[in-house]
Structure 1
Amino acid sequence: MVDFDALEAAGIGNARDRAPLIEFLDGLGFTTDEMAEAERRGRLFGLAGDATQSTGQPIYSLATAAQAIGLPLAEVQHAWAVLGLTVADTEEIALAEADVEGLRTWAAMKRSLGDDAAFGFLRVLGSAMARLAEAESSMVRTATPDLNLSRTHDELVTAQAYHRATQLVPRIGGMIDAVHRRHLLAARAYFEGIIRTESDTVECGVGFADLSNFTVLTRLSTADQLSTLLNDFSAVATDVVHAQGGRVVKFIGDAVMWVSATPESLARAALALVRHPHAAEAGVQVRGGLSFGSMLATGGDYFGTPVNLAARLVAAAQPGQVLVAAPWYDIPRDWPIAVQDPLTLKGFDEPVTAYQLCDHL
């Protein structure tokens, strides 16, 4: 039996009027103290879902976590911030055992790989996880409108919807682990083919493709139409690049950046993107810019003159056009290209001789 008097004494307002919600939470095993704490945060309706997403019972502060892993507090505090996470006070009990175990892994990386590598990895991890969390949240909220309490006006309905939605969270964690391991194997095989020295420098092709006139499309399209267009473009770009043996580096708004081990595979991916039938069906055109050469691969991204050149070329390309610039390393001599007028590109002192890449004969 639920003791409503005890709940009200603990600070849960109108407990009897909210009996369906409280009985639902009681049936899931939540205690009076847990409900009272959720009520203080204005999250009684979210307690079941919040608990599923939690990393565990908070038992550490940042200060005690630093002691547990044997590192200065300032370093641990900085690591937590680099991950994009915040704690109001270093003495606040906010971290669970799983959080501290993650920090222990980072500490082990520091010892074996060095500070720069370990902190660089944290930046990539934090950024990737933040984007993943936003994607999950957007997906679930779109598919589950009952998550919005202002829509349902019913704490129980929203609590049940939230609880159901979060049941996938542990399974997604397992999914992330499996996909991570698969991508590690794929990355190892890819880098074995393009690393030329013992440094982080690689010799490969880099491409950018984007949707031309996207600003106009933004003004003329609804939010749902834009979402569908961008999702379709992301799916097509990923499929096309992977089909040609390349690797997607990132999506930047309406643009995709990818790398390929050879000029041929880079060119095939670019032409497949600008000629893709889904683009024509959607009434949009794609353009591309390509380069090849030595660049720095670090933090899951690529830097160097070839990257800058490809980015400038895509901005200069016409709809449906793929531009490359000399020297176009090892391109087969029978691959048709059409010389363009020299281009004045930002960041390049001299005009750049560019070529339009044509369909391979």
Structure 2
Amino acid sequence: MVDLDALQAAGIADAHRRAALIEYLDGLGFSADEMVEAERRGRLFGLAGDVLQRSGPPVHSFRGAAEVLGVSLDELSRAWAALGLGVTDPDEVTLSDADLDGLSVWLKVKATVGAEAALAFLRVLGTSMSRLAEAGSTMVRIAAPDIQMTRTQDELTTAKAFRAVSEATGRFGVLIEAVFRQHLVSARTHFENVIRDDTATVICGIGFADLTGFTALTQRLTPAELSDLLVEFGGVVSDLVHVDGGRVVKFIGDEVMWVTSTPELLVKVAEDLVEHPRARETGLQVRAGLGYGAVLAVGGDYFGNPVNLAARLVAAAAPGQILAGDDVRDELGGWPAVPQDALLLKGFDTPVQAYDLRVGR
């Protein structure tokens, strides 16, 4: 039997009115102290789901964790910040044993590759995890709107919905680890085909493609329709790039950047994207810009003149057009390529000769 009077005295407001929620939490095994702490944070309705999303019960402060790990509080805070996370009170108990186990991996990486390289990796990891978390949150919020108090106006309904969702999302880590290991193999295979020395320089194809007519379309579609289109476009692009042997580097709004090990694969991806019928059905067209040559592969991204050229060419391309520079044309040999008028491109001191790779095909 839950002592509602004792809970109210301990800090849970209107305990009798919220008896159904409290009894639900009690039935799941939550203690009075856990409920009071959740109420202090304004999350009594979220307690049932929150506990499933944590990496474990908090048992360490940042100051204590630094001592256990054998680093300074400043160094640990810097690593945490690189992950996109913040330390509000170094003496507040917020970290679990699993968190410390994860941070110990950072120390092993640092010992292997050096402090700055390890910190750069943490930044990429943090950015990637932040995006995954936001994507997952958006997906769930749309599919299970009852997790929002603003919708249900009922704590018990939201608590049960959030618990059900958290039973699934709390297992995302298992999926992420499995996929990460597969991508380690995929990345290694990719770099084996494009590395030429022991530096960060690789020789590969760089492609950019974007949707033309997208801005106008946003004025005609509802938010839900636009969301569905973006999700579908992202899925189609990813599928096509991967099937054609490329690797998606990133999405930038309605634009995608990808890389391939050969210029032939680069053009194949571009053609499949430009010719995809789904875009035309929605009143959109795809255009692409391509580059090929030596670039720096750093932090999961690519930098160099071929990247800059491809990015400028996609902006200069007409709807349905694939523009490439001399670097791609020369590598393709006898591939049909129609010279265009020289282009004045931002960042390039002299006019750039571009070629349309789709004319007559």
TM-score, length of structure 2 as denominator length: 0.97
- Amino acid across the alignment from 1:282: T
Shift, 1:225, TM fit: 1.9
- Amino acid across the alignment from 1:343: L
Where does residue 156 of structure 1 map in the other structure? 156
Given that 1:344 and 1:352 are in contact with CA atoms closer than 8 Å, whether structure 2 keeps it comes out as yes
Deviations 1:93-152 (A, max 9, x none): 211111111111101111111112100110011000000000010000101111111221
Three-state SS of the structure 1 residue aligned to 2:204 is: strand
Where does residue 35 of structure 1 map in the other structure? 35
User: Aligned ranges for residues 85-164 of structure 1 at < 5 Å?
Assistant: 85-164=85-164
2:63, 2:15 → 1: CA distance? 37
Given that 2:286 and 2:319 are in contact with CA atoms closer than 8 Å, whether structure 1 keeps it comes out as yes
CA distance change for structure 1 residues 21 and 229 in 2, over 3 Å: closer, same or farther? Answer: same
- The number of residues matched between the two structures is 361
Where does residue 334 of structure 1 map in the other structure? 334
User: Aligned ranges for residues 223-238 of structure 1 at < 5 Å?
Assistant: 223-238=223-238
Where does residue 81 of structure 2 map in the other structure? 81
Three-state SS of the structure 2 residue aligned to 1:350 is: coil
1:137, 1:298 → 2: CA distance? 29
1:355, 1:24 → 2: CA distance? 67
2:142, 2:303 → 1: CA distance? 36
Structure 1 consecutive aligned stretches of length 4 or more whose deviation exceeds 3 Å: 329-334
Given that 2:329 and 2:335 are in contact with CA atoms closer than 8 Å, whether structure 1 keeps it comes out as no
The answer to whether the aligner puts 1:284 opposite 2:290 as a matched pair is: no
Shift, 1:6, TM fit: 1.6
Shift, 1:329, TM fit: 5.8
Three-state SS of the structure 2 residue aligned to 1:167 is: helix
Deviations 1:263-322 (A, max 9, x none): 000001001101001111121000000000000001111011111110000000011101
CA distance change for structure 1 residues 360 and 116 in 2, over 3 Å: closer, same or farther? Answer: farther
Where does residue 202 of structure 2 map in the other structure? 202
User: Aligned ranges for residues 1-361 of structure 1 at < 5 Å?
Assistant: 1-328=1-328, 331-358=331-358
State percent identity of aligned pairs: 56
Three-state SS of the structure 1 residue aligned to 2:319 is: coil
Three-state SS of the structure 2 residue aligned to 1:168 is: helix
Q: Which runs of 5+ in 1 are unaligned?
A: none
Three-state SS of the structure 1 residue aligned to 2:281 is: helix
Three-state SS of the structure 2 residue aligned to 1:210 is: strand
Three-state SS of the structure 1 residue aligned to 2:60 is: coil
1:170, 1:162 → 2: CA distance? 11
1:360, 1:23 → 2: CA distance? 72
Deviations 1:235-256 (A, max 9, x none): 1111111111110001010000
Q: CA RMSD in A?
A: 1.3
1:353, 1:299 → 2: CA distance? 31
1:123, 1:307 → 2: CA distance? 22
Given that 2:290 and 2:328 are in contact with CA atoms closer than 8 Å, whether structure 1 keeps it comes out as no
TM-score, length of structure 1 as denominator length: 0.97
Q: Which runs of 5+ in 2 are unaligned?
A: none
2:30, 2:263 → 1: CA distance? 59
Three-state SS of the structure 1 residue aligned to 2:20 is: helix
Three-state SS of the structure 2 residue aligned to 1:288 is: strand
Given that 2:201 and 2:294 are in contact with CA atoms closer than 8 Å, whether structure 1 keeps it comes out as yes
Given that 2:293 and 2:327 are in contact with CA atoms closer than 8 Å, whether structure 1 keeps it comes out as no
Range that drifts further, 59-68 or 74-83: 59-68
Given that 1:49 and 1:159 are in contact with CA atoms closer than 8 Å, whether structure 2 keeps it comes out as yes
1:337, 1:232 → 2: CA distance? 31
Range that drifts further, 277-286 or 342-351: 277-286
Given that 2:205 and 2:266 are in contact with CA atoms closer than 8 Å, whether structure 1 keeps it comes out as yes
CA distance change for structure 1 residues 93 and 360 in 2, over 3 Å: closer, same or farther? Answer: farther
- Amino acid across the alignment from 1:147: I
Three-state SS of the structure 1 residue aligned to 2:130 is: helix
